[in-house]
Amino acid sequence: MQIAIPAERLAGEHRVAATPETVKKLVAAGHAVSVQAGAGLAAAIPDAAYADAGAAIAPQRQPLLAAADIVLCVRAPEADDIAALKAGAVIVGMLSPYHNPLLPQLAARGVSAFALELLPRTTRAQSMDVLSSQNNIAGYKAVLLACQYYPRFMPMLMTAAGTVKAARVLVLGVGVAGLQAIATAKRLGAVVEAYDVRPATREQVESLGAKFVEVPMSEEEKAASSGVYAREMTPEFLARQNELLAKRAAAADIVITTALIPGKPAPRLLSAAAVAGMRPGSVIVDLAAEAGGNCELTRAGEAHLSDNGVHLVGLANLPAMLAADASSLYARNLLTFLGLLLSPEGLKLDLDDDIVAATLVAHQGEQRFGAPAKPAAAAQTDKEPHHG
């Protein structure tokens, strides 16, 4: 197969979808790999490293895409890139399926498009889980960003000039990013507590040496919060949650928020009033900024100071700030996923495979995710898996 690795076009996106390590393995398997010139420079990978691994370096983008059987990308392609793809081509990457207005164009082009954000949370899919690999990096970087804005030390220091107290860190949302934020803050010597709407995460929080903050819940609310992902909760629960989190934020020096609900706006965990109750010099790093923010005062893509002197950090795409390691992990995720699509005979899409079916958002001219609902009569005979 002819596999193409284009440079990313989104501003601030420094990652790349393949590394010399993964290119070498693809070439050894008999595939031809072409990398757009300069695609890996921001991730500390020069063109020569790709060439040494067996890739061809393509000076122009459109011919690279037009010749490709498979395109590996980090971000969703833009309209002119889609127009350059040949019918029947495969594209694999993080395609933003919940908010991508170009899915109909991908379908109309006859492209088979795989959005890896839709991977099922199963043991079999773990090695392909791009969200986990990239959120792990985001949680780590969030703590380092907090240190950048926080005007004090993180650890407790006993000096001849007196003792400096350890910073108090509150992590909201205990997924992959939240757990890494907890671990990183602990390594830096902070006192850490964490909250998640899912009570089952208590054990993970406490295993990292942090304190778990718990909002009282009814049996119905516990049942609603028992899944892998956080879900929207009742207004009564949210009122109790917000009251408690405002108190914990007021006692914290640094708050890192990571709560997301797939396909929906980020849950609001910190109100403007909660921020007003925090001490000057405190820091909020909002990893949900691009989805509307967990904090009411977050500005996506910006870092600013509130009226009472709280640093609000809504910078986007933290994994791209550590592009070398982020690209390495992401490229390995993609290489593993390609193992489901490639056979010795070439490309083979097994729609009975749960991972393939869950991530396939466009195929053979059909938009398979987020498409308008079919008429009831047709829906009764529809045998395709439901993704949206």
383 by Cβ neighbours in 10 Å (0-12 / 13-18 / 19+) ranks as exposed
CATH 3.40.50.720 positions along the chain are: 2-118+323-365, 137-321
Q: What phi and psi values does residue 43 have, to the nearest 5 degrees?
A: -100, 20
**Rounded to whole angstroms, how far apart are CA atoms 65 and 71?**
7
9, 121, 124, 152: the active-site residue: 121
SS3 32: strand
Residue of 60, 62, 80, 126 with catalytic role: 126
Q: Which of 80, 207, 229, 343 is catalytic?
A: 229
> 323-341 and 130-149 are packed helices; what angle lies between their axes, rounded to 10 degrees?
170
pLDDT at 235: 84
The partner residues of 90 in beta bridges, in order of sequence, read: 70, 112
Q: Rounded to an integer, what distance in angstroms lies between the CA atom of residue 302 and that of residue 282?
A: 16
DSSP-derived secondary structure for 202-234? HHHHHHTTPEEE-----HHHHHHT-SSS-----
The CATH number assigned to the domain with range 2-118+323-365 reads 3.40.50.720
132 is catalytic: yes
- Read off the DSSP letter of residue 17: S
DSSP string for residues in 112-170? EEEEGGG---SGGGGGG-HHHHHHHHHHHHHHHHHHHH-SS-SS-EEETTEEEPPPEEE
pLDDT tens sequence for the chain (388 residues): 999 999 999 999 999 999 999 999 999 999 999 999 999 999 999 999 999 999 999 999 999 999 999 999 999 999 999 999 999 999 999 999 999 999 999 999 999 999 999 999 999 999 999 999 999 999 999 999 999 999 999 999 998 999 999 999 999 999 999 999 999 999 999 999 999 988 889 999 999 999 999 988 776 666 655 555 555 677 888 889 999 999 999 999 999 999 998 889 999 999 999 999 999 999 999 999 999 999 999 999 999 999 999 999 999 999 999 999 999 999 999 999 999 999 888 898 999 999 999 999 999 999 999 865 444 343 333 333 333 3
Residue 134 is a catalytic residue: no
- Could you identify the residue written with the tokens 């089952």? 200
- Using the structure block, give the residue that is written with the tokens 């980020």: 266
Q: Is 129 tagged catalytic? A: yes
Q: Among this protein's residues, is 121 annotated catalytic?
A: yes
Q: For residue 34, give the 3-state DSSP assignment.
A: strand
CA pseudo-torsion sign 131, 301, 323, 347 = positive
Choosing from 34, 36, 112, 132, the catalytic residue is: 132
Confidence (pTM): 0.90
Among 129, 196, 253, 286, the active-site one is: 129
Asked if CATH classification 3.40.50.720 holds for the domain at 137-321, the reply, yes or no, is yes
